[in-house]
Amino acid sequence: MRTDDLVHAMVADLHAAQTSIGRQFALAIAIGFAISAVLFWVTLGPRPDIAAAALTIRFDLKIVETLLLAATAVALVLRLAQPGAGTGLQKIVLAAAPALLTVAVMAELLVVPTDQWQAKLVGSNSLVCLTAIPLLSLPLLAALLLALRHGAPTSRGAAGAAAGLVAGGLAAALYATQCTDDSPLFVATWYTIAIGAVTVLGAFLGRRLLRW
Amino acid sequence: MSQRDTGWADLMRAANSGDAESYERVLRRIAAALRPLVRRGLARAGRSGADIEDVVQEVLLAVHLKQHTWDSTRPIEPWVHAIARHKLVDALRRRHGNFDLPLDDFSETLAAEEESPSVSGREVERHLAQLPAGQRAVVHAVAVEGVSIAEAAERLNLTAGAVRVALHRGLASLAKTLEQD
Mean pLDDT value of segment B42-56: 82
Rounded Cα gap, residues A69 and A67, in angstroms: 5
A interface test, pick of B25, B54, B68, B123 with most A CB neighbours within 10 Å: B68
* Helix boundaries (H) for chain A: 3-12, 21-43, 50-53, 57-80, 88-93, 96-111, 117-122, 126-150, 156-176, 184-186, 192-209
Write the DSSP symbol of residue B1.
-
Question: Among A11, A20, A83, whose Cβ lies nearest the Cβ of B86?
Answer: A83
Q: Which residues contact B21 (CB under 8 A, 6 or more apart)?
A: none
CA closest to A23 among chain B residues: B68
**DSSP reduced 3-state for A48:** coil
CA angle A144, B63, B164 (to 5 degrees): 85
First to last CA, chain B: 32
**Residue B96: its H or E element:** helix B77-96
pLDDT band at A19 (very low <50, low <70, confident <90, very high): confident
Rounded Cα gap, residues A79 and A15, in angstroms: 24
Question: Among B16, B60, B85, whose Cβ lies nearest the Cβ of A3?
Answer: B60
* CB-based contact, A84 to chain B, within 8 Å: yes
Q: A152 and B66 in contact by Cβ < 8 A?
A: yes
The residue among A48, A44, A16, A29 whose CA lies nearest residue A142 is: A29
**DSSP reduced 3-state for B108:** coil
With beta carbons less than 8 A apart as the criterion, state whether A85 and B81 touch: no
In this structure, how many other beta carbons lie within 10 angstroms of the beta carbon of residue B122? Answer: 12
- Residue B1 above 50 pLDDT? no
- Residue A43 above 60 pLDDT? yes
B interface test, pick of A6, A8, A149 with most B CB neighbours within 10 Å: A6
CA angle A164, A165, A171 (to 5 degrees): 85
B interface test, pick of A7, A19, A25, A148 with most B CB neighbours within 10 Å: A7
Mean pLDDT value of segment B133-157: 92
**DSSP reduced 3-state for B120:** strand
Count of pairs with CB atoms under 8 A, one residue in A, one in B: 122
Rounded Cα gap, residues A152 and A82, in angstroms: 6
**DSSP reduced 3-state for B74:** coil
* CB-based contact, A8 to chain B, within 8 Å: yes
pLDDT in tens, A83-121: 999 999 999 999 999 999 999 999 999 999 999 999 999
Q: Which residues of B touch A5 (CB under 8 A)?
A: 143-144, 146
Q: Which residues of A touch B143 (CB under 8 A)?
A: 1, 5-6, 8-9
The residue among A10, A80, A152, A151 whose CA lies nearest residue B56 is: A10
Q: Which residues of B touch A81 (CB under 8 A)?
A: 69
The structure's pTM equals: 0.90
DSSP A174-205: HHHTT-----HHHIIIIIHHHHHHHHHHHHHH
Q: A18 and B119 in contact by Cβ < 8 A?
A: no
Phi, psi of B102 (to 5 degrees): -55, 140
What percent of chain B clears pLDDT 70, i.e. is strictly above it?
86
CA closest to B107 among chain A residues: A84
- The mean pLDDT value of chain A amounts to 95
Angle between helices A126-150 and A57-80 (to 10 degrees): 30
**For residue A2, what are the β-bridge partners?**
B120
pLDDT in tens, B72-107: 899 999 999 999 999 998 888 887 766 665 555 455
Say what the ipTM of the complex is. 0.88
**DSSP reduced 3-state for A2:** strand
**DSSP reduced 3-state for A58:** helix
Q: B62 and A2 in contact by Cβ < 8 A?
A: no
- Residue A49: C-alpha distances to residues A58, A68, A179, A183, B136 (Å): 14, 24, 11, 16, 63
Question: Among A2, A10, A21, whose Cβ lies nearest the Cβ of B120?
Answer: A2
The residue among B162, B127, B128 whose CA lies nearest residue B145 is: B128
pLDDT in tens, A44-62: 999 999 999 999 999 999 9
CA closest to B141 among chain A residues: A9
Rounded Cα gap, residues A4 and B57, in angstroms: 10
Mean pLDDT value of segment A185-192: 97
Rounded Cα gap, residues B168 and B163, in angstroms: 9
